[in-house]
Amino acid sequence: MIKIYLTLLLLLITWSCKQAPQQEYSDQTLIKNVHIVDVEQGTILKNQHILVEGNQILEITDVLPTGEFSAVIDGEGAYVVPGLTEMHAHIPSPPTSEKRIEETLFLYLSGGITTIRGMLGHPYHLELREEVRKGSVPGPRIFTSSPSLNGNTVQTPEEAMEKVRQYASEGYDFLKIHPGIQRGVFDSLVSAARQAGIPFAGHVPVDVGVRHALESGYATIDHIDGYLEGLVPEAAAVNPAENGFFGFNFTQLADTTKIKDLVELTRNQEVWIVPTQTLFERWFAPTQADSLLAQPEMKYMTPTTLANWKRIKEEQLSDPSWDPQQWVLFDHIRLRLILELARNGHGLLLGSDAPQLFNVPGFSLHREIAAMERSGLSPAEILRMGTLAPAQFFGAEADWGSIAVGKAADFFLTEANPLEDLSALREMKGLMLQGKWLSRDLIDQKLVEIAENAAKLDDN
């Protein structure tokens, strides 16, 4: 009897062992042998290893973790940088195909951009925002504006209040202000936005003026819109409607001693600024269209888009009212405003207005970074503008914006130290997005595909 019992027990143990599941790798990715860029302190944490679980950073340590991992990536001494944020992006909408829209999102990713703020909203973007959040569409985290509020779409206070309530209820993250809104209509819009609890951002309508705009509580003023006009003395008695391209016509009248007061008002009202300086340096500067079109990133745009950009640029250069010498002063004033607003205002956020004139998604933000350097800002200051500062702007610094345990696994690797040379950001070795690794080879393969598809399209 005992012999039979032992035999049955042995068979049971053998059967149990056969039924036991095979050992599985954990859902963890190890990125080893890296240096971490601390964007808050502007320093480097050397010789670290990062453990990612799901879409979060689980551990940062100088002791190499052991165990079984779903993937191990050897950084080989690379620098880990938090994903960048493009604070003035544009996302295509129907009738543009879903494929082209998704390719545009990937172009942002290819530049290390893991968060974008779409500045011309569409109902489709609300769906896209959720698809990206769930990971079903690869792309940067999306914050989206409402459709445009401008002098044509809101012509009465009642119309403005109705649109504000509508867009707030539909779930847009903020309202987009465009030119042309009359001051009384604007004030009604602001009142309705406060009641609905939805922020507003964008342009400064001429009838509103930069000082009233600041006092009204913009979340961001983009393009430094209205500031040059705000430097014109009242004694000049100009017609505000004759300001030209972002105040260009008033360049010679600008009193730069007024910058201090405007910057102080910006700081007191806690209004962030998104300069989009690269838009001005490419669209409005005395640079020939063909030299811009020869740049390598242009292959990702469609022939029709490139032809339109060339036409607009050549029309601008041939306009008799445009003076290249006046442009030099205009640019000088803008760069001075950028430096003062960064150092003494509430703060700057990186944004390039892509895809607009010669600004290609994923590439133009790096040109904006170079423009910020020309203003006199340091690499550490500029990196914060594109990483931690946007997270603070959205009240999400506990979730993303820097490399820390518990934060989103959204970062990329660079060969060189960006605190020493910001051009290192352009040489990305790979991207971690929502905890998923995109290798350099994969990114390059996708870029080739996007370029080939763009060449075949008639429009954007």
- Note the pLDDT tens digit of each residue in 143-181: 999 999 999 999 999 999 999 999 999 999 999 999 999
> Confidence band (pLDDT; 50, 70, 90) for 19?
very low
Question: Could you give the strand order of the β-sheet that contains 84-89, starting from the edge strand earlier in sequence?
Answer: 84-89, 113-118, 141-149, 174-177, 200-202, 220-222, 272-274
Predicted confidence at residue 320, as pLDDT, reads 86
**Does 116 or 458 have the greater pLDDT score?**
116
Predicted confidence at residue 11, as pLDDT, reads 36
Q: Are 248 and 196 in contact (CB under 8 A)?
A: no
Instruction: Please give the mean pLDDT across all residues of the chain.
Output: 93
On the question of pLDDT at 41 being above 80, the answer is yes
Query: What is the pTM (predicted TM-score) of this model?
Result: 0.91
Cα gap 210→269, rounded to integer Å: 12
On the question of pLDDT at 201 being above 50, the answer is yes
On the question of pLDDT at 46 being above 90, the answer is yes
CB atoms within 10 A of CB 459: 11
Q: Are 311 and 374 in contact (CB under 8 A)?
A: no
Paired tokens of 365 = 């933000």
Q: Are 63 and 77 in contact (CB under 8 A)?
A: no
User: Under DSSP, is residue 135 helix (H, G, I), strand (E, B) or coil?
Assistant: coil
Cis amide bond preceding 95, omega within 30 = yes
Calculate the alpha carbon distances from 363 to 121, 143, 296, 303, 313 in Å. Answer: 22, 20, 10, 18, 19
Predicted confidence at residue 171, as pLDDT, reads 98
Predicted confidence at residue 458, as pLDDT, reads 72
pLDDT single digits (tens) 247-297: 999 999 999 999 999 999 999 999 999 999 999 999 889 999 999 999 999
Contacts made by residues 63-72, CB under 8 angstroms, sequence distance 24+: 64/32, 65/30, 67/26, 67/28, 68/23, 68/25, 68/26, 69/25, 69/26, 69/28, 69/29, 69/30, 70/25, 70/26, 70/27, 70/28, 70/29, 71/29, 71/30, 71/437, 72/29, 72/30, 72/32
Predicted confidence at residue 459, as pLDDT, reads 56
Predicted confidence at residue 322, as pLDDT, reads 84
pLDDT single digits (tens) 368-412: 999 999 999 999 999 999 999 999 999 999 999 999 999 999 999
Cα gap 148→128, rounded to integer Å: 18
Percent of the chain as helix, strand, coil, to the nearest 5: 45, 20, 35
- The average pLDDT across 445-450 equals 97
Predicted confidence at residue 26, as pLDDT, reads 59
Dihedral sign from CA coordinates of 194, 200, 206, 210: positive
Domains contained in the chain, CATH given: 84-400 (3.20.20.140)
